[in-house]
A and B are shown apart, each in its own frame.
Chain A
């Protein structure tokens, strides 16, 4: 075991990781609630997601402050520097996920006003659940420093993309079929896009976990599908 001579340094590092894990828990529940809100057309839940976003912003600022303080006072190197930087970067990605969840919730409040798009909601639900699963898996990987699990998340990002592309087509069909649904469908399109970007942030976090544990960047190209072409 490589224990530090200065015990409080160790404590500070552990505390930073713990703060990130707690922030991760908050983000997971924000994203999950945002998805449930849009699927179940639950106005109260969507409104509470919007209201709770401040907690995530505050958590990110707090983690950043602590990380900067740690770098300034302790001048960490090697492992310790990577842990500190990783905490900052993960927090940053989580905050972005939180913003996207908040945006989904805001759109939900608009979508609720028009008629339900039942079959579409199912597709959104599937994609939403997939994205929440990714986020949970990558946060598990972070708290347990499990590189294999992080790699698994990293290599499966194309699944989310495929769902997004399929949803995109489905939405187009809807809008062409009935122009009255265009407002709701356009918002749904952004909901799907937001989910896809939350998936991207999960992939980013997977890269950070890999870097934190090994010190190597992932250079091999991820299997990327070019979904914009028909």
Chain B
């Protein structure tokens, strides 16, 4: 027999959702303002949004009873559902931390983490031990201040990794929880892009001014000569103009490469999401390189799987750039009558992909993904050239690094090709491997994570 419904008490949780929603909307507006660069508006709105969001969350947490926080189904799930989604779906990572006593390290737990916080900290469940997900001493200190000092505090939070991230962590006190614990809200704002823009600008200026100086000096030297004693010498004039044109072309290639490197670096932490069929992309890039290969008397052998198997989440133009750069390099260092082989396979694990396949050569991983995906598409591009000595291998992807004494032929590169390849592979959460031996050729391997449904197709085909 059902018990009679008790009278609904006046419960504060009816209030929490408008506040949290207002806070959430405020934060979203701040994100928009950040994009448009309205700094003065942003600051005041951020403060307001935080107050609303904190107040909302505090009411939310005190209103909900204990079991709801520990993952057991809430007794009263009625009107809360949509707003839990709002908070969960906010673009900025949010964490609610609870603690009992200041000297109890294992007492500090996160009891709520929204979706982006779970992605950022790479955790599945939305609660657990705080120290197991955040170790940064300064961030922990800021959280402690909010928990036990009762004041808002903030800190820079840097996450090391191949896709390094920089965030600002802001901790605010949320008062006491239902069980007497202390609560704090930690909100993160991603500043990776801001930092990158700053750094890219500095790098660009430094590189451009340094590397453009040489061709520029030679240009002005020739101009001086042409206006001076070579004025009447027709033969010299033609020759000089030829050199000047080559230098000007080199400068423009350099600027192109620097620009594209800057662009790639800027959104390296944002993985691309378009569907790319690697087979098609690689075929297109190889076809484009065919005339150059013919001119150099080098054969291009490509082995590609059928369409639809090597599907990745990627940026097609960037993938083509990777293949072009690697094939260009291979052609450059190939002897006349040699062959460059381009082989694409699917379904390898990260360990298999980075193991290489030529045991007689020195192998070095130039980039390995932070978190291994299940299956990769593996592209190997090999030449039969002179190979690269071991001591140069770790520095290959450095900007403007040149292997001494290596002749790259008349079509000198910019020294940025492999740096571009590495950054593109990193943006795609992939890896890069080089195998080389003096006199025994070089193989570059790029491996990129396969789409889940492509994995199924590969499994079926094999």
A-B pairs with the 3 shortest C-beta distances? A25-B135, A166-B394, A136-B160
Q: Which bucket holds chain B's interface residue count?
A: 20 to 34
Tell whether, in the assembled complex, residue B136 and residue A25 are in contact, meaning their CB atoms are under 8 Å apart. yes
At the interface, yes or no: A79 with Cβ under 8 Å from chain B? no
Partner among B131, B138, B161, B365 whose Cβ is within 8 Å of the Cβ of A133: B161
* A22-B140, A156-B365 known; A132-B160 Cβ under 8 A: yes
Tell whether, in the assembled complex, residue A29 and residue B132 are in contact, meaning their CB atoms are under 8 Å apart. no
A89 to B320, CA, bound (A): 48
* A25-B137, A32-B160, A156-B365 known; A137-B370 Cβ under 8 A: yes
Q: Which residues of chain B have a CB within 8 Å of any CB of chain A? A: 105-106, 129, 131-138, 140, 158-162, 164, 364-365, 368, 370, 372, 390-395, 398
Identify 15 new A-B residue pairs, CB closer than 8 A, beyond the known A22-B135, A32-B158: A18-B132, A21-B131, A25-B136, A26-B137, A28-B136, A28-B160, A29-B138, A133-B370, A137-B370, A143-B132, A143-B133, A144-B132, A158-B364, A166-B391, A166-B393
What are the interface flags for A140-170 relative to B under an 8 Å C-beta threshold, 1 for contact and 0 otherwise?
0001100010001000101100110110010
What are the interface flags for A115-136 relative to B under an 8 Å C-beta threshold, 1 for contact and 0 otherwise?
0000000110010010011011
B135 closest partner in A (C-beta): A25
Q: Which residues of B contact A148 (CB under 8 A)?
A: 372
A30 closest partner in B (C-beta): B137
Q: Which residues of A contact B131 (CB under 8 A)?
A: 18, 21-22, 25, 143
The distance from the CB of A35 to the nearest CB of chain B, in whole angstroms, is 10
Max count, chain B CB within 10 A of own CB: residue among A132, A148, A166: A166
A25 closest partner in B (C-beta): B135
Q: Which residues of B contact A18 (CB under 8 A)?
A: 105-106, 129, 131-132
Q: Which residues of B contact A158 (CB under 8 A)?
A: 364
Q: Which residues of A contact B136 (CB under 8 A)?
A: 25, 28-29
A121 to B123, CA, bound (A): 36
Max count, chain A CB within 10 A of own CB: residue among B160, B372, B395, B398: B160
Q: Which residues of A contact B390 (CB under 8 A)?
A: 162, 165
Tell whether, in the assembled complex, residue B106 and residue A11 are in contact, meaning their CB atoms are under 8 Å apart. yes
30 residue pairs A–B, Cβ–Cβ below 8 Å: A11-B106, A15-B105, A18-B106, A18-B132, A21-B131, A21-B132, A21-B135, A22-B131, A25-B131, A25-B137, A25-B140, A28-B136, A29-B137, A29-B138, A122-B398, A123-B395, A132-B160, A133-B160, A136-B161, A143-B132, A144-B132, A148-B372, A152-B372, A158-B364, A159-B364, A162-B393, A162-B394, A165-B390, A165-B391, A166-B394
Q: Which residues of B contact A144 (CB under 8 A)?
A: 132
Q: Which residues of chain A have a CB within 8 Å of any CB of chain B? A: 11, 14-15, 18-19, 21-22, 24-26, 28-29, 32, 122-123, 126, 129, 132-133, 135-137, 139, 143-144, 148, 152, 156, 158-159, 162-163, 165-166, 169
A159 to B136, CA, bound (A): 26
The distance from the CB of B197 to the nearest CB of chain A, in whole angstroms, is 19
Max count, chain B CB within 10 A of own CB: residue among A11, A21, A135: A21
Q: Which residues of A contact B393 (CB under 8 A)?
A: 162, 166
A50 to B351, CA, bound (A): 39
Q: Which residues of B contact A143 (CB under 8 A)?
A: 131-133, 135
Q: Which residues of A contact B132 (CB under 8 A)?
A: 18, 21, 143-144
The distance from the CB of B51 to the nearest CB of chain A, in whole angstroms, is 30
Tell whether, in the assembled complex, residue A24 and residue B135 are in contact, meaning their CB atoms are under 8 Å apart. yes
Q: Which residues of A contact B394 (CB under 8 A)?
A: 159, 162-163, 165-166
